[in-house]
Chain A
Amino acid sequence: MPQYLALIYTAYVDWWAPEQAAELAEYRQFAVDNADSIRASAVLHPTSTATVVRVEGTRGGHVVTTDGPYAETKEALTGYYLIEAADLEEAVAITAGLPAAWNGAVEVRPVIAVK
């Protein structure tokens, strides 16, 4: 069955903050409701904890790290679900249940099947 990565884009959010508890509970409920379709998932710490890694020149070059996100945007990647669905319509129907779908956006990307 085809797999889709549902990338969650929302405004800056610290999922550990107590005021996020209610929304986080909605995500947990989503995971319970769609347990049969979800193959993997992750909730990410806020973008302020991110580190961008670059290697100068080519492989083996000097490793340069930068604090913070790659680019400042209104909406950032804050989590993902790996979903299995019969087709894009089913994948869209499932991801429409994610709170990010009305609080931000969910990008649904088909995963290349590795034989």
Chain B
Amino acid sequence: MPPQPRAWLTVTARRKAIDILRRERTRPGKERDGLRMIELARSDLPPDDVVHDDLLRLIFTCCHPTLSPPTRVALALRTLCGLSPAQIAGVLLTTEAATAKRLTRARQKIAAAHIPYRVPPENELADRLPTVCAVIHSLYTAGHAPVDGRTAYDVDACAEAVRLAELLHDLLPDQPMPSAVLALLLLTEGRRPSRLDEQGDVVTLDQQDRGRWDAAVIARGVALLNGSLRRSHRQADAYQLQAAIAAEHARAASYHDTDWTEILRLYDLLVSIAPSHTAGLARVVAATEAADAATGLAMLAELPPNPRWHGVRAELLAREGRYTEAARELAESLDGPATEPERQHRERRREAFLQLAMPSPPDESES
């Protein structure tokens, strides 16, 4: 027994509590009252406000800044979602043994170093909330856009991330950041069904069947984003900007109807406040659509290459009819890690570009 036994020793109870909170919210009024009556009759459940405070404390402890980012994700999945070390290892692309060791060390540190089990005071929330939101967002990213693996995305990891985002938003409904994270996740999640076709092949955004997007989920995401922006006095953070970009895609009737100028403007803002390689690449794509491939290629030259960079460059070169170079870029991109469906997609694109390059006109543009 550690010197201070804490909430993760009662993982099952917490999970139940989370489920109750979730069910409460989704059930219509009358049914909710009925459920409350049944649960009030049970003596083993703590009152709502105790569950509420306990869950918040647990979240802030799991996502404490003195723990490493992957440890925060692992702890959140273990204690808040009840996932097994093997399941967590699947999400974090590591081994069960490494995950178990990571969890044990984290618990030792929390106990030995006395990481406090409490909700930060109001004046510290602004400092501490980003860490919590980053855990949820990186969990979603790990599920939605894994760097490797057999599947294009991990539905379970996405669902757990959405569950945590719902929970945090429920617990802190007046904070703009958790509602922006939930908005971003919903606006992305609502469009996920069209990312693969019936055969499980990758479908790029320009080819996606927008009829398969979940309009209700998207509408809720937009409403949450508007509420979040209102509460933060329109001083957008990185989550709000990403959610705004997702909303902009979601409201376009087709790829060609997309307001690329607005999306580029949002990416410019995003890159200025939270630079990342992924955002940089997406900004290149937006600039290409808003202007032309030459603009995109010039911006791409400023970014360090990685497999996805080569993939983007291949598409831009193909736009300019430079198919041989495009195929070469895809070959480079296939050298690095990618999920199996993404790898197959790049293979297909490479073959298509090689076909287009085949006739090799003797006196055109080549010197």
Chain A residues near B (Cβ < 8 Å): 2, 4, 86-89, 92, 108, 110, 112
Contacts and interface: CB of A to CB of B under 8 A. Distances in A.
Which 9 pairs of residues, A with B, have the shortest CB-CB distance?
A87-B116, A87-B114, A110-B113, A88-B113, A2-B114, A110-B112, A88-B115, A88-B114, A89-B116
B94 interface: no
A4 B115 CA distance: 12
B114 A110 contact: yes
Interface in B66-89: 66
B113 to A, nearest CB: 4
B66 A92 contact: yes
Interface in B104-126: 112-116
B139 to A, nearest CB: 24
Interface of B: 66, 112-116
Given A88-B66, A110-B112, 12 more contacts: A2-B113, A2-B114, A86-B116, A87-B114, A87-B115, A87-B116, A88-B114, A88-B115, A89-B115, A89-B116, A92-B66, A112-B112
A88 B350 CA distance: 54
Contacts of A2: 113-114
A108 B112 CA distance: 12
Contacts of B114: 2, 86-88, 110
Nearest to A112: B112
Contacts of B115: 87-89
Contacts of A86: 114, 116
Contacts of A112: 112
A95 B210 CA distance: 54
A110 B113 CA distance: 5
A70 to B, nearest CB: 25
Nearest to A1: B114
Contacts of B112: 110, 112
A89 B116 CA distance: 7
Contacts of B113: 2, 4, 88, 108, 110
A83 B93 CA distance: 39
Contacts of A87: 114-116
9 contacts: A86-B114, A86-B116, A87-B115, A87-B116, A89-B115, A92-B66, A110-B113, A110-B114, A112-B112
B58 to A, nearest CB: 16
A9 B113 CA distance: 20
A97 to B, nearest CB: 17
Contacts of A88: 66, 113-116
A4 B114 CA distance: 10
Contacts of A92: 66
Nearest to A89: B116
Contacts of A89: 115-116
A28 B254 CA distance: 67
Contacts of B116: 86-89
A58 B30 CA distance: 77
A112 to B, nearest CB: 8
Nearest to B128: A89
